Each structure stands twice: as C-alpha cells, then as structure tokens.
Structure 1
Amino acid sequence: MARTFFSALSLVLLISSASAYKSSSGSGSWQKGECDITRINAQEPSFRVESEGGVSEFWDHNSEDFQCAGVSFHRHIIRTRGLMLPAYHNAPVLAYVLQGRGIFGVVISGCPETFESPQQQPEKEVRGGKFTDRHQQIEYLKQGDVIAIRAGDAHWTYNNGDEELIIVVVQDNSNNANQLDQNPRSFMLAGNPEIAQQQEQMKRFRGSRGQQEKQHEMGNIFRGLSTEILAEAFDVDEETARKLKSENDERGPIVIVEKELQVIKPPFRHNGLEETVCSAKIRENINNPSRADIYNPQAGRLSTVNSFTFPLLNYLRLSFAKAVLYRNAIMAPHWLTNAHSIVYITRGENRIQVVNQKGQAVFDGQVKEGQVLVVPQNFAVVKQANEEGCEWVEFQTNANAMINTLSGRTSAIRGLPLDVVANAYQVSREEAERIKYSRQETLFFSGSKSSHATQ
C-alpha cells in the first residue's frame, strides 16, 4: 500500500531534530566553498575503461559540480557471464540496477561464512575427490534494486542473465567514513586495471578534454607485496602467489567466466530481523509502483529509500529516489533542505531549471537519458517532462533527505498568511489567493497537455 505524502512528511518532522547531527556532519563540501556555483552542466562520462567482460564509464569527479557534492559517479555495463572482480572503496557506495539481473556478494570482515557446499565437513576441505566451499552471503540482483555498500567492504558482481547488466554508482568521497582526500579510489583484490586504463587513455568521450585530469584510481593491492610474503601469507608456492598479482592479466576489471559461475546460490527469500552488520539488508527494490510515496494519476509518482526503509543507509548517510513524470507534467519547484542531489536520467528527456541563492539560473536546459545533473543543497529546482514523459533516479547525500516545495498544497507559499503573500509580491488579495490555492496537488502537477498514464 502506497504511503501518503503527509504521513511521510510527519515522520520526517518528528525525527528531524534527533537526526540533525547527521545532517550537519554529512556529505558534501559546501563548508570549503566549492559550491559557489554560477553554472551547472548536464554531464556525460569523461572516460571509460574497456574490459573483456564489459565497460566501466566514469564522470569527471574533478568538475566543480561533483566537487561541490563531494561525490563521484560511474556506470558499469557487464556482459553476460561477466564477472566484476572483487574490490573495495575508500568511501561508501550506493548503486542502482538500471537493467538486467545477476548475483553479487559483499564480504564483511569477521562475519561468518553463511553459505557452504552440501554435506561439507569443516575438518575436510576435499570430499569424494571434489573441492567444497564456504563463503559469505550472496544476493540476487534485478532491475530496480538499490544496493548499499559500506566503505572498505569488498564486493563483486556477476551477470548470470541473458542481457547486459547495467549499474550506476555514486561514491560518497566526502563522507566521514573516508579519511583520505576526495579522490575516488578502488582497491582491487584481483586483475590488472592499470593496463586497461592505459589502453583507454586515448579513447576519451570528449576528445582531448580531461587528458591531464586525475582519473578514478584503481589497482591490484597484491602487486605491491613481495611474492615471498604472499606465498607465506597464503601458504602456497611462489608460482601461485605470483598469480595473485595478475601482472600479465589484460582482461580488465570485468572478466568473462568461461562456464557458468559455480557458487552456492541463495534461495529467494525476504530478509528477516536485522540485528547485526552481518545480517543487515544490503539491497532494496524500488521498482514496484505500488510502493510509491507520492502518486498523482495525472502527473507521475515518486518512490524513496531512506534510513527508515533501508537502515544500512544510516551508516552510509545517503538516500535514494526514483521518479516517473508523465508527458508535459511538472515536478513542483522545490529544494532539498539537507542534501545535494545527483540526478541521472533513465528514460526520456527532462527540462530542468536550477536557481542559486543569488537568484541566478545556474542551469536551464534539457537533460537527456544517460546524463547526470548535480543539484546543490538548497538550490531551487523545477522539472518538466516532454511529450514522451521522463524517468530519473536521484542519489541524495543525507540518510533522510528532506524536501520543501514552493507551490502546491504543502508548499512554503501555501503556509504563508494571505496578506504576507499580497504584500510580498505587490498583488491584490484575490491574486494572492490564486497564488496560494490554485494548485491542489502536492508534488507532481499535471501539465496543460497531460493525460492519464499507466506507466
């Protein structure tokens, strides 16, 4: 059953004071002055890394927009039977599955190996001449899934479907879990991504743009360790230890598994009570229209994921939203009170206007499918779909991102006394009344040419 806007708003107001400390110490770098922005751009990837099993695309995290939000953005396209090699990051990661299905695992140090091969005996690693296995939890992936990964937790992904698995990712580099600088870093447990990066150095999407920019840094951590130490640490011979370094591996960060990946797959089940980090839910699906927080049959819907519905986001201090806007419909002018927003268009085009504290339009244009727009905290923004409608997702840099609107039934203008509106805008009381009460919707408004949609 869909939750109403009012119940969600009331819940936010009740806990806002209790979570204020999180907002004040959350993500973003506005304290350092990077958000004195006079121009925002709709951005596309600035470079890509080709692998045997897919492509990784990276947006320019050095741009003023991303520096303001303190995040980096990338997209992975994993081919069928493609395995994204295990890695961990210097900052929390929030990912969204745009297309396809697969399996993934997150390895948390100290947690038990909850999956094991049938009939395995702990004292015997080989049974009946065949190797057995134990490993940590594995999850299924499908379109619409939101995945939360803490800083430093190793993870991997495998495409066991029959189409490309496409995942977009925000890495929150200014999160206080990251004690390094704001450069995104991926610590690979396998592979040799340096070779793939070198091969792609001259294949940037925008010609010579960004040739001197500092890229997303990644490398195999075993390469820096001596072969002798590795052999002793793993109790293997030096030839095997040398393979851990993957020095001659040219497959890239995503490799092809020759046969179906042999792992102990989980049953389809719903997670139960979450009591520890080891059992915490790391995935939440947002695709079902029936779970929408706000729904207007003439205009569209909004679904959100925050720390109330996805408790792990309390640790990441991030939240997520998915919006569907029907043709010509408008999302009310609004601002996020406590978070930056990283908007990724997943279908269609959206006309977006963004205004800063000086009353300057820092962006006014069409944002197309596959483009990213960063909207800083408190900047006013309005969105309108074209004739085909539009869908997008938003990564928000607070565990409980809160929204205020400028028009509509629950807006700031609606909450002002009539005479305040009349005197503020030098209008008659009748005009002030129309300004306050003409829109009865809350967040999504039907456009002049809108019609009912069944999306």
Structure 2
Amino acid sequence: MEAMNPKPFFEGEGGSYLKWLPSDYPLLAQTNVAGGRLLLRPRGFAVPHYADCSKFGYVLQGEDGVTGFVFPNKCNEVVMKLKKGDLIPVPSGITSWWFNDGDSDLEIIFLGETKNAHVPGDITYFILSGPRGLLQGFAPEYVQKSYSLSQEETNKFLKSQSNVLIFTVQPSQSLPKPHKHSKLVYNIDAAVPDNRAKVGAAAVTMVTESTFPFIGQTGLTAVLEKLDANAIRSPVYIAEPSDQLIYVTKGSGKIQVVGFSSKFDADVKIGQLILVPRYFAVGKMAGEEGLECISMIVATHPMVEELAGKTSVLEALSSEVFQVSFNVTAEFEKLFRSKV
C-alpha cells in the first residue's frame, strides 16, 4: 500500500483529465475501485459520454459548473448547476456532459467502483462525438442509413467535430442553462457533521441513501472528513466487506492503515489517493495546515466502527474481557476508560 498519484489521460486547451492507473497501482484492480480528476478551464466542455461503472463526483473548486444527464430509456436531458462542495452521483449507464460556465477553473474528483468494468481498477469512457466517438467506428454507409442522411450530411455529421474529449466552447456557441433546484446534487460541505463522529477537532459527514436517495443508485457512500491543524481522527474500520478510497482534498498530514498482516504509514498531501482494503483500520493525523478528505465506501449503509470514544468497540467490552485481553489491571482499565 502507498499514497497514489495520478497520471495525465488527456490535456487540452479546455481542460484535462487525470487517472490513477491500475498498472501503476495493482491494488486498485484487486479491490475494484478507481479514481479520476477532471479540470475544466473557463468555458471548458467535456463531451457527452457514458462509463462502465458507477461513481460519484465531488466538486473541489469552481462555482459555475454545469452538467447534463440523460438517463437510460429517457427522452429528456436534466441540466444541473454545480459549485464547490457539491456531491454528484453518476450511476453506470448515464450519459453526461460537463461544462464550466464560470471565470475560474472547475475541478471535480470522481471515485468509482469497477467490479463490472472492462478494466478492473479503471473507468472506461464511451464518447459519443468527435474523432474518438462511438459512431466513428461504424461504416459511414451504416450511419447514413441509420439516421436517414445523405452522403454529404453523413460526412458533415461525422467529420465536423475535430476536438477530442475536452475543448473550449466558442463565445458564439451556447449550452443549456441549469434548473434552479435538483434532487440529484447534494452539497456535502454545507451539511451538518455527524455528531457521533466528532473526535476533538475532527468533523465527519457521511452521506448515504438515507440522507441523499440518489446516491443509492450508485451503491456507494460518501464521507467528508475535516481535521483542524494537528488534530487526530481516531481509528475506524468498516465491519463488512467494503473497500474505501480516500482522496486528500486539502492540507496534509499522516494516514495509517493497519490490517492483520500489513500496515501503511505515510505522509499524505493534497491530490493523493489512499486505499483502505476491506476490514482494515485507518487513522488520520492532520499537519499544520489541517487535513481534509473525501472518501468513497463501496456500500450503501456501511457499518463504521470506532476504535476510540464512547461508542467504540473497546468501550463496549466488559471490564473482565478488557483486562484479560490487554493483560492490564482493573485500575488501569478504569483509567483507560476515563480517558476514552
């Protein structure tokens, strides 16, 4: 296990897309999780596409993002506004496009689960337009007959767009305006933290389908953790076979991951991914600038167990079992519990 850094997948005038590659980090493939980071410059546009896995996006920066969804077997397009702190689930099979309608950069981290993907540990995108579009793979004669076009119209349809994946929309071109309200976007930054998960100067917000029903369609849970400078997040583990992928959104610090026969202990910084395999425990310590993370848990209602605090499993153990297990006296056991 190690802190993981992305590599460029596409770079252009309108923006870029970075990926964490399973060829660099085989554990991604072994656990079927993946990540990618989209950056759109002002008026940057990511063309319509669909992917082979479910994921969610978290807006890292930007206040004027726009995304459009077309759900399978639906004939209408849903257009939504995006801003910093927004959580936007993208279930498998949805066609989406992304646009930056602001004057500053729009950046979104995507975390997904790839058990049904073509490449384990990677998100494969199927593009609808441009030189890499799906229609380019069909014979022109077939496209001509499918859409009842003339040969000249077919050539114009297939060859007019020379840009690939991400490009800048010209001032003379326009895109749909977002709806004012949407049940498909949830601002996790503005949500009230889970009081149960507050430990010292650490605040944790977990978003499941109970809080935000649309995220249930992805089979995922999102967790936002914010630690003040030098704060500690007590160790936790997920009491079910669910892997966790953590992205550092702000600050720096140390993350420790401990399992039955291995452990990971490393300094982490903004922009890195950390994988927590199923049943492993994870602890976090913030640096001088604090530490903030967005995490994906591959479960709709994960059973997160604390290893410290009044709701922890250690607190629940009987005095006799605690003393025998840790080989300590009753006096020390009482002292320990008074500090938990």
433 and 260 in structure 1: CA distance in 2 versus 1, 3 angstrom threshold: farther
261 and 301 in structure 1: CA distance in 2 versus 1, 3 angstrom threshold: farther
Contact 2:237 2:306 in 1 (8 A): yes
- What corresponds to 1:44 in structure 2? 5
Q: Higher strand proportion, which one?
A: 2
Q: Which runs of 5+ in 1 are unaligned?
A: 1-39, 114-135, 193-218, 272-280, 440-455
Q: Equivalents in 1 of 2:117, 2:257: separation in Å?
A: 32
Contact 1:223 1:247 in 2 (8 A): no
400 and 43 in structure 1: CA distance in 2 versus 1, 3 angstrom threshold: same
In the TM superposition, residue 179 of structure 1 has moved relative to its aligned partner by 6.8
Q: Equivalents in 2 of 1:77, 1:377: separation in Å?
A: 30
In the TM superposition, residue 242 of structure 1 has moved relative to its aligned partner by 2.9
58 and 247 in structure 1: CA distance in 2 versus 1, 3 angstrom threshold: farther
Q: Name the SS of the counterpart of 1:312 in structure 2.
A: helix
Instruction: Supply the AA of the counterpart residue of 1:233.
Output: S
Answer yes or no: is 1:337 the counterpart of 2:239.
yes
Answer yes or no: is 1:102 the counterpart of 2:65.
yes
67 and 434 in structure 1: CA distance in 2 versus 1, 3 angstrom threshold: farther
Q: Equivalents in 1 of 2:335, 2:30: separation in Å?
A: 37
365 and 293 in structure 1: CA distance in 2 versus 1, 3 angstrom threshold: same
Q: Equivalents in 2 of 1:230, 1:260: separation in Å?
A: 29
- What corresponds to 1:83 in structure 2? 45
- What corresponds to 1:312 in structure 2? 214
- What corresponds to 1:36 in structure 2? none
Instruction: Supply the AA of the counterpart residue of 2:78.
Output: Q
Instruction: Supply the AA of the counterpart residue of 1:57.
Output: L
- What corresponds to 1:409 in structure 2? 310
Q: Name the SS of the counterpart of 1:413 in structure 2.
A: helix
Q: Equivalents in 2 of 1:225, 1:427: separation in Å?
A: 72
Answer yes or no: is 1:253 the counterpart of 2:168.
no
In the TM superposition, residue 351 of structure 1 has moved relative to its aligned partner by 0.6
Among residues 255, 263, 267, which one is paired with 1:352 in the alignment? 255
Contact 1:71 1:172 in 2 (8 A): yes
Instruction: Map Cα deviations across residues 221-252 of structure 1 (whole Å, 9 max, x no partner).
Output: 11111112212222333333234445972x33
Instruction: Supply the AA of the counterpart residue of 1:236.
Output: L
Q: Name the SS of the counterpart of 2:333 in structure 1.
A: helix
- What corresponds to 1:390 in structure 2? 291
Report % sequence identity: 28
Instruction: Map Cα deviations across residues 104-148 of structure 1 (whole Å, 9 max, x no partner).
Output: 1111233243xxxxxxxxxxxxxxxxxxxxxx2211111111111
In the TM superposition, residue 432 of structure 1 has moved relative to its aligned partner by 1.2
Instruction: Supply the AA of the counterpart residue of 1:373.
Output: I
Contact 1:408 1:437 in 2 (8 A): no
In the TM superposition, residue 88 of structure 1 has moved relative to its aligned partner by 0.3
- What corresponds to 2:31 in structure 1? 69
Contact 2:79 2:179 in 1 (8 A): no
Contact 1:46 1:58 in 2 (8 A): yes
- What corresponds to 1:28 in structure 2? none
- What corresponds to 1:59 in structure 2? 20
Worse overlay, 224-233 or 151-160: 224-233
Q: Equivalents in 2 of 1:149, 1:287: separation in Å?
A: 19
Answer yes or no: is 1:144 the counterpart of 2:85.
yes
Q: Equivalents in 1 of 2:217, 2:145: separation in Å?
A: 36
261 and 340 in structure 1: CA distance in 2 versus 1, 3 angstrom threshold: farther
TM-score, normalised on structure 1? 0.70
| Poorly superposed stretches of 4+, deviation over 4 Å | 295-298
309 and 240 in structure 1: CA distance in 2 versus 1, 3 angstrom threshold: farther
Q: Which runs of 5+ in 2 are unaligned?
A: none
- What corresponds to 1:17 in structure 2? none
Q: Equivalents in 1 of 2:179, 2:35: separation in Å?
A: 32
Among residues 220, 224, 227, which one is paired with 1:325 in the alignment? 227
- What corresponds to 2:149 in structure 1? 236
Q: Name the SS of the counterpart of 1:350 in structure 2.
A: strand
In the TM superposition, residue 414 of structure 1 has moved relative to its aligned partner by 0.3
379 and 106 in structure 1: CA distance in 2 versus 1, 3 angstrom threshold: same
Contact 1:61 1:73 in 2 (8 A): no
Matches within 5 A, 1:136-215: 136-174=77-115, 178=116, 180=118, 182=120, 183-192=122-131
58 and 253 in structure 1: CA distance in 2 versus 1, 3 angstrom threshold: same
45 and 151 in structure 1: CA distance in 2 versus 1, 3 angstrom threshold: same
Instruction: Map Cα deviations across residues 399-427 of structure 1 (whole Å, 9 max, x no partner).
Output: 12221111111111000011211111111
Worse overlay, 251-260 or 300-309: 251-260
Q: Equivalents in 2 of 1:248, 1:292: separation in Å?
A: 46
267 and 46 in structure 1: CA distance in 2 versus 1, 3 angstrom threshold: closer
Instruction: Supply the AA of the counterpart residue of 2:28.
Output: F
Query: For this pair of structures, how many residues does the alignment match?
Result: 335
Q: Equivalents in 1 of 2:140, 2:112: separation in Å?
A: 32
242 and 401 in structure 1: CA distance in 2 versus 1, 3 angstrom threshold: farther
TM-score, normalised on structure 2? 0.92
Contact 2:199 2:233 in 1 (8 A): no
Q: Equivalents in 2 of 1:246, 1:438: separation in Å?
A: 69
Contact 2:2 2:266 in 1 (8 A): no
Q: Name the SS of the counterpart of 1:291 in structure 2.
A: coil
373 and 322 in structure 1: CA distance in 2 versus 1, 3 angstrom threshold: same
Q: Equivalents in 1 of 2:174, 2:214: separation in Å?
A: 29
Instruction: Compute the RMSD of aligned alpha carbons.
Output: 2.0
